[in-house]
Amino acid sequence: MSTKKILFMALLAFAVALPAVSQQFDGKTIKEVRIQGLERVSEQLIRSQLEVQAGQTYNQVAISRDIRRLSDTTFFSSIKADATLDGEQVVISYLVEEKRVISEIKIIGNDKIKERAIRGAVSWREGDTFLEDGYDEEREAILNLYQSKGIANTTVDIVVEEVGPSRVRITYMVDEGKKARIRSVDFEGNDALSDRQLRKGMQTKRRWWFFGGKYDEDKFEADLQKVLDKYGDHGRLEAAVAGTEIAYSDSGKGMDIVISVAEGPEYKVGTIETANNVVFDDDEILKLLKVQAGDVHNKGQVQKDSDLVAKGYADSGYVNAGVTPQVTLDKESTTTNIVYRTDEGDLKYVGEIKVTGNDVTRDDVIRRDIFVVPGERFDGTLLEASKRRLESTDYYEAIRFSMENIEENDRFANLLVDVDEGRTGFWNFGAGYSTDDGFGGYTELRFNNFDITNWPTFSGGGQQFRIRLNLGQRRNEYNLSFTDPEFMGYPILFGVDLFDESYEYEGGSDYTQETSGGQLRLGKVLSPYVTARTAVSYRSVNYSDMETGPFSAYYPYIGGDVTISSIWGINRTTTDNSRDPSKGARHDLQLEIAGIGGDNNFWKIDHDSTWFWALDEESKWVLSYRSRQGIGSPWGDSDVIPLSDRYFVGGSSTVRGYDSRDIGPTRPRYGIFGDDESVGGELRLVNNLEIKYKWNKWFRLYGFLDAGGVWLEPSDFGFGDMKYGAGVGIGFDVPRMGPIRVDIGMPLNGDEDQDGPKVHLQGGFRF
């Protein structure tokens, strides 16, 4: 019963008793007015509310008014009045029971749900009146909250403690139990689209072995919208989620989700129009659209078409242009009418490029990676390419572009580039293993935003400086590298590398190669996607653990000790992400000519292209195809390309399922007897087809088909010599530790000694 009802009943009882009491005390003087039961409320405050005072004549109606007035203060849960005789005078006593106030609320035992979420679910609040009849409602509110998060085994105890006069402390003691895993996600009412189609793209997924199956309410709500978007892409513009049901197993460890949908009718596009467009005529806009009249209305593609038109405006300098698709439904004919309304804005030219947020990096370092030029009109494609270019440097944690209008000249706008700088100096050390290199450890000091002239911080100039030491089972490497992307103020890249390394080959070859030397590099950015380069390289090569006599398999191909070559190359990259691409391509073409000094004369041309295709909207499935070709030939006084520069195939980076260098021409180790040794060739062809599934941010699944071959001379080429391998792999990209990948490859047409699967492992750990 509520407090108001209790007070009403008290007043009613008092009013009924008034006639009897009145006869006993009528005409008598009030000697004293007492207040009993106060603990927290001030007596002075209460007396200020009383009409009845000592010295007055007894008046039952005045007492009733006092009780009503005290109840209005909301301080009390119970109020009574009592009158007694003291001689010939009357003593009036007001008997009150103060309401208990919640002075503190504590929540303990909650790990999986934040405290503020629990406080938001319950109704008791600190400072509120404590109502004893609220226990069940409070407990139920918390249990419902946990069930909505997929945690069905929760129990809640509520402890109330007296902590002072009319004050209590409430403690919610939560035992969360284990979170239930999703066993199934099913749909009801879906005829046009299958359960599989609707589940595709949802983050709420059933448990698969020990992976996944966690329920997240926010993700589930987003998934319901994805279901409606999926229907919208199939013309079901009036589809709705009719309801959802979550059922828990008896143990509370499993949950089954059922989503009920109302699909609605299928709509097709009736008419398509444009409005408010002046810069581009109707035909120019309409030919960009993929959704045409007569097609099933695809809600997602209609929005993409709108964005594509807006991009066309931005690429032409109308960077403030907006395009909005307005869709009206004709329910009788189940068709839609689409009007692409444009707000073209004004043609804008680039004013100043203002850079902010760069406390370390110099302004000119940022500006050189921006492809729009002051005085020229804005180009949306160049702005996107500029942002990708800045992101690829890894100098910044965030990059934001915006525009600032110029009041005195509305044709121009300033480009504002705001950056959040990140760490650009790293000292890494760690260990790793790969099938080709064996076990190894390394340490590396790297500065990505180095400035050799900025003593003592040596930072902010956009240069790269790296010192690396690698000691391992098969590879030992010492490397120093310096690169300046804008040498002496000119837009020319300059770099220098010094190296000393040794590698112990195993598999198709069996010897140790020691290489030392260096190179000078120059490069030039030709466009947002194309870079040209050239270099002069010096390499000194020595061999050990090798039979080098005239009967050795390697003897005819060892060549001279020193190679001096010039290198010319061009690269084009259009990938959407440099580390883990889903779309775009990489192309590289390189010519190397040795013979400008040294002991060896040869030329080599190498081509390397990789294409990436996202097979779904979320880019979880990615297909890639890589094709590499290399051809070379000796010239001048040389008869062969030296062993250190010959082509080899087989192993983790070329054709999996085979040992390193296990494909191509071989010779017996000792002339006419001994194990066969790979001697490489002057022509190489390698192709890799791979499909990747991005399970989540860290875990990848792979399937691949490799093909490759090496020929002693180009004239020996024949497709029948190609070797093929296929297999599967898994990859992990562990934060702060590095990528790890394990492939299992099976040779498809190997020789007798090339049977059975091969495990190829690549990875390392950074500390």
- Among 300-304, 504-508, 728-732, the minimum mean pLDDT is found in 504-508
Kindly state the helix (H) or strand (E) to which residue 501 belongs, with its residue range. strand 493-505
User: 417 by DSSP, 3-state: which?
Assistant: strand
Q: Over range 76-100, report the average pLDDT.
A: 84
Q: Give the CATH class of 101-175.
A: alpha beta
Write the CATH number of the domain with boundaries 181-262: 3.10.20.310
**49 confidence band (pLDDT: 50, 70, 90):** confident
Quote the CA–CA distance of 106 and 589 in Å, as a whole number. 68
Mean pLDDT of 338-350: 94
In whole angstroms, what is the distance from residue 443 CA to residue 468 CA?
6
**Which band of pLDDT confidence, cut at 50, 70 and 90, is reported for residue 83?**
confident
What CA–CA distance (Å, rounded) separates 219 from 371? Answer: 39
For 138-152, what is the mean pLDDT? 82
pLDDT band, residue 663 (cuts 50/70/90): very high
| pLDDT for the residue numbered 16 | 40
pLDDT band, residue 555 (cuts 50/70/90): confident
> What percentage of residues in the chain have a pLDDT greater than 90?
47
**So what's the pLDDT on residue 206?**
86
State in Å, rounded, how far the first CA of the chain is from the last one.
Answer: 65
Strands (E), 635-736: 666-668, 676-678, 683-694, 699-711, 723-734
Write down the pLDDT at residue 523.
Answer: 96
Mean pLDDT, residues 135-146 taken together: 85
Query: Which is it for strands 493-505 and 475-484: parallel, antiparallel or unpaired?
Result: antiparallel
Residue 338 pLDDT > 60: yes
> How many angstroms separate the CA atoms of 549 and 698, rounded?
51
Instruction: Mean pLDDT check: name the lowest of 37-51, 510-524, 527-541.
Output: 37-51
Which pair of tokens denotes residue 193? 């689209």
Residue 761, pLDDT score: 79
Q: Which CATH superfamily is domain 268-343 in?
A: membrane protein fhac (3.10.20.310)
Which pLDDT value is given to residue 23?
63
CB within 8 Å of 494: residues ≥ 6 apart:
483, 484, 487, 520, 521, 522
pLDDT band at 516 (very low <50, low <70, confident <90, very high): very high
| pLDDT confidence of residue 301 | 95
Nearest to 460 by CA among 480, 481, 484, 444: 484
Q: Helix, strand or coil for residue 37?
A: coil
Superfamily of 349-421 according to CATH: membrane protein fhac (3.10.20.310)
Average pLDDT over the chain reads 87
Domain 3-98 in CATH 3.10.20.310: yes
Q: Is the pTM of this model over 0.75?
A: no
Architecture of domain 520-766: Beta Barrel (2.40)
Q: Give the separation between CA 358 and CA 40, rounded to whole angstroms.
A: 59
Domains 101-175 and 520-766 share a fold: no
Q: What is the pLDDT of residues 445-500, one digit of tens each?
A: 888 888 888 888 888 888 999 998 988 888 889 999 999 998 888 889 999 999 99
The answer to whether 61 and 26 are in contact (CB under 8 A) is: no
Q: What is the pLDDT of residue 187?
A: 96
Other CB atoms closer than 10 Å to residue 404's CB: what's the count?
A: 12
Residue 18 is predicted with a pLDDT of 44
pLDDT number for residue 432: 59
Mean pLDDT, range 685-709, rounded to an integer? 94
Give pLDDT, residue 20.
46
Q: What is the mean pLDDT of residues 130-144?
A: 82
Q: pLDDT, tens digit, for every residue of 400-428?
A: 999 898 888 889 999 999 999 887 776 76
pLDDT mean over 81-91: 86
Q: Report the range of poorest mean pLDDT among 17-31, 403-417, 548-562, 602-616.
A: 17-31
pLDDT score for 15 = 44
The whole-number average pLDDT for the span 689-701 is 91
- Residues of the chain with pLDDT > 70, as a percent, come to 93
Per-residue confidence (pLDDT) for residue 13, from 0 to 100? 46
The residue ranges of every structural domain in the chain are 3-98, 101-175, 181-262, 268-343, 349-421, 520-766
